[in-house]
Amino acid sequence: MPEPPPLRVAGALVVGDDGRFFFQKRSPQRKLFPNTWDIVGGHVEPGETLEAALRREVTEETGWRVEAILAVVGEYAYTGDDGLARIETDFLVRVEGDLARPRLEIGKHTEFRWLGPDELAPLDENRLVDDGMVRRIAEDGFAVLATLGS
């Protein structure tokens, strides 16, 4: 029987006015990557485009609205603890809304932080769970942001 195609995931590195990125901590109850820092994002639903999924996930997870997609950061392939292959496409975005008061999804995320390129140590807290992927995405994101000159 052929392998099912990888699930598609859209991720957002939300850029604040000071050039830092928004991260939120997944709750300990989450099946995939429990209790780890993560960027905003989620699975692309059937019939949905990557961009539509990106915009939907940002609003669902933070209450903010995507104002601008600045750049593609990269594509990342991984297999979750559930054994399903995924391909995640991550974007740099700016959002509209109160950046000091995201509306975290109850039960899914427990806290948030804004981190700059020299403040990424918290992303290493559970690097065994996510194999350091979120830190790599953040580093790639800051490299892309630097090329934009913003």
Which domains, from first to last, does the chain contain? 7-148 (3.90.79.10)
Q: How many helices (H) and strands (E) does the chain have?
A: 3, 7
Report the pLDDT value the prediction gives residue 127, as an integer from 0 to 100: 76
Report the pLDDT value the prediction gives residue 149, as an integer from 0 to 100: 72
Question: Three-state SS for 60?
Answer: helix
Q: Is the Cβ–Cβ distance between 128 and 57 less than 8 Å?
A: no
- Which stretches in the chain have pLDDT values below 70? 150
Strands (E), 15-126: 21-26, 37-38, 40-43, 65-79, 85-96, 109-115
Report the pLDDT value the prediction gives residue 27, as an integer from 0 to 100: 94
Report the pLDDT value the prediction gives residue 119, as an integer from 0 to 100: 96
Report the pLDDT value the prediction gives residue 147, as an integer from 0 to 100: 96
Query: How far apart are alpha carbons 49 and 66 in whole angstroms?
Result: 15
Report the pLDDT value the prediction gives residue 3, as an integer from 0 to 100: 76
Report the 10 Å Cβ neighbour count for 33.
18
pTM of the prediction? 0.94
Report the pLDDT value the prediction gives residue 113, as an integer from 0 to 100: 97
Under DSSP, the state recorded for 13 is: E
Query: How far apart are alpha carbons 25 and 110 in whole angstroms?
Result: 6
